[in-house]
Homo-oligomer: A and B are copies of this chain.
Amino acid sequence: MTKNGGRGGTERLVVIGGDAAGMSAASQARRLKGPGELEIVAFERGHFTSFSACGIPYWVGGDVSERDDLIARTPEEHRARDIDVRLRTEVTGIDVAGQRVRARDLDSGAESWTSYDKLVIATGARPVRPDLPGADAPGVHGVQTLDDGQGLLDTLARARGRRAVVVGAGYIGVEMAEALINRGFEVTVVNRGKEPMSTLDPDMGRLVHLAMEGLGITMVNDAEVTKVLTAADGTVRAVATPDAEYPADVVVLGIGVRPETTLARAAGLPLGSRGGLLTDLAMRVRGHENIWAGGDCVEVLNLVSGQTQHVPLGTHANKQGQVIGTNAGGGYATFPGVVGTAVSKVCDLEIARTGLREKDARRVGLQYETAVIESTSRARYFPGTSSMTVKMLAERRTGRLLGVQIVGREGAAKRVDVAAVALTARMTVEEMTALDLGYAPPFSPVWDPVLVAARKATAKLRAS
């Protein structure tokens, strides 16, 4: 039953947003349905498709030498697979009742309507730009898009001095601190929270704080930036808090992102409390049979808390795009939700978390015990072994695992995956003590650090 499409019997799938979720959906739908059955049109307001935003800090820092290394698939590659990618074309309205979208050619300014049988909304996220005097000054940069990354690299190349201030101490903030150190800058991170990495509990954030100082980064916590100060030529010269000024030749904003759902809101589609689109398990926008949404513009179910949250991560966007493309292509797939896994690094410091923090558990009414242990990445006697701290939360009485946070060096980050699977399987920490994890002296102590934490959590639950 097609009401659109160029040829008889051909349906049209319209995709809004040409990044991970949108183009994964388009590609997967194309795998299932050839161009004779399904026409696919993808609108992208920028110059690129399918790029790795998560890779930008490493491009800025020099680990990745070319911008194009971050592009997983070019518009030409998509077009070669019969996906009609329209770059520099911004969708400006969705007419749900009429099953059509209005799009503007950003170069010519021309607007036109395109009808759809099936619609995918993958509009991503927009960076939080604080409403600060001076925040638009030259030398102040976000790091959301490839254009942002290029702009920052240009600033770094011509900066007057070598002082950098990073505003925000989440994933982007700490990764940009590393990038700027690698570029030879003196880095100050100004952070509103009590400790960096507010996705960790403060006791674990404290370990990140100390390690960052050990790397020569100046950490300013409990500090709200109120102003960006500029030089006579209008470029940035400092960042100000109520208490101090931090001189800066370049400023990077890493304050976080919000779902980009302006279009969805205007179209009357359902949004959650974090401003993201609400979908069902098949990634259909709730209440709409032929509209799907995925990536940074949606809220996802956290399987541990039972509530939706906004988790802008490329790995979810790719999975959701895959699910959407399968369903839009006539197959069947679901995205059951997330457990809140995230990993990052600052130089050789690895940071990982999954599940709930203490405050998350309290907020959703879960009572818990915590265990914090220190162990090593390899057998204690093996060269290159390094210490790691593992924090584990378990529910009182049931003993169910609620969350894990790890701060350490080599081998710390990906150890959190064990906990991610255990959370998905709703294991208890006592069940975890018996997990048959890989052991050999170069890879782990005979009790893996995650198991040591599970043992301690089990003992605390028994004593409570």
**Which A residues fall within an 8 A CB radius of B?**
20, 52, 54-55, 58, 63-64, 69-70, 171, 313-316, 318-319, 334-336, 338-345, 350, 352, 354, 379, 381-383, 411, 413-418, 420-422, 424-425, 427, 431, 433-444, 446-448
A-B contact pairs, 29 of them (CB 8 A): A52-B379, A52-B381, A54-B379, A54-B441, A55-B379, A55-B382, A55-B441, A63-B383, A64-B381, A64-B441, A171-B440, A313-B439, A315-B447, A316-B436, A318-B447, A334-B434, A335-B434, A341-B436, A341-B437, A343-B438, A343-B443, A343-B444, A344-B440, A352-B438, A354-B438, A416-B438, A418-B418, A421-B422, A422-B425
Q: How far is the CA of A352 from the CA of B443 in the complex (A)?
A: 11
Q: How far is the CA of A108 from the CA of B299 in the complex (A)?
A: 75
Chain B proximity of A114: nearest CB distance (Å)? 29
Chain B residue nearest to A458 in the complex (CB): B333
Cβ-defined contact, A425 with B421, below 8 A: yes
Q: How far is the CA of A354 from the CA of B421 in the complex (A)?
A: 15
Known contacts A319-B447, A417-B418; can you find 10 more A-B pairs with CB under 8 A?
A64-B383, A171-B440, A338-B436, A341-B437, A345-B443, A414-B437, A414-B438, A417-B448, A421-B422, A421-B427
Chain B residue nearest to A377 in the complex (CB): B414
Instruction: Report copies per complex.
Output: 2
Chain B residue nearest to A413 in the complex (CB): B443
Asked, given contacts A417-B418, A424-B435, whether A440 binds B54 with beta carbons under 8 Å apart, the answer is yes
Cβ-defined contact, A54 with B439, below 8 A: yes
Q: How far is the CA of A113 from the CA of B82 in the complex (A)?
A: 84
What residues of B have a CB within 8 angstroms of the CB of A442 in the complex? 58, 345
Chain B proximity of A170: nearest CB distance (Å)? 13
What residues of B have a CB within 8 angstroms of the CB of A352 in the complex? 438
Q: How far is the CA of A313 from the CA of B448 in the complex (A)?
A: 14
Chain B residue nearest to A416 in the complex (CB): B438
Chain B residue nearest to A68 in the complex (CB): B381
Q: Which of A335, A341, A342, A439 has the most CB of B within 10 A?
A: A439
Q: Which of A20, A382, A433, A435 has the most CB of B within 10 A?
A: A435
Q: How far is the CA of A319 from the CA of B446 in the complex (A)?
A: 9
Chain B residue nearest to A411 in the complex (CB): B414
Of B70, B417, B439, which one neighbours A381 at CB under 8 angstroms? B70
Chain B proximity of A110: nearest CB distance (Å)? 35
